[in-house]
Amino acid sequence: MKAVKKIIHTTIFVPIILLAHGTNTHLEIEKKVSKQDIFIVEEQNIYKEINTQYMKNIKPIFEKKCFDCHGSVSNYPWYYNVPGVKQMMDYDIKEAKKHMDMSKDFPFISHETPLNDLTSLKDIAIKGSMPPLRYVLGHWNSSLAEDEKQVLKKWSEESISKLKRVNDE
């Protein structure tokens, strides 16, 4: 009887146990999980590093130049309450935040990846395509100065390089 139980155990249960993970062994599964965990930790560390530089060098610029539409605004200009203007400004702010909301620091709340956000910011620094002309007409000091463009360009390029290095590993 014991011999029959051993045969049943060996022919039924051992293959089930061995094949429970498919073709992956525990060690292979642990290696995959470990690589994913390492990547996630490295990416989070890079985000922290990029955010530290953002807080120090970029956020002060954005607070003056970009937060009216891409951040948390509480002080609206006097003409905000003019009928028609208020609706236009509310719409513009809503649309701006759909693309990039800088309220929570880096990585931004966005419909893009942090890498694509950085690429867009670099392009904006080079081309000067923000803010839109109709906003500049009412806010003459809202465009980035040349030194601010250079700081933004340098930070975005360095940050892009760091993120690409982590993604390539």
Contact 92, 135 (CB under 8 A): yes
Rounded-to-integer distance, Cα 137 and Cα 160, Å: 32
pLDDT of residue 98: 92
Cα–Cα distance for residue pair 113/107, rounded to 1 Å: 9
* Full residue range of the structural domain in which residue 65 is found: 2-168
Of 111 and 28, the structure prediction assigns the larger pLDDT to 111
pLDDT tens sequence across 11-25: 555 555 555 555 555
Helices of type H across 54-102 = 59-65, 67-70, 85-99
Rounded to an integer, the average pLDDT of 79-102 is: 92
Structure confidence by residue, pLDDT tens digits, 27-86: 555 555 555 566 577 888 999 999 999 999 999 999 999 998 999 876 788 888 999 999
Angle at alpha carbon of residue 100, lines to 97 and 104, rounded to 5°: 90
Q: What is the chain's mean pLDDT, rounded?
A: 82
Number of domains in the chain: 1
What are the E-state strand segments in the chain?
100-101, 109-110
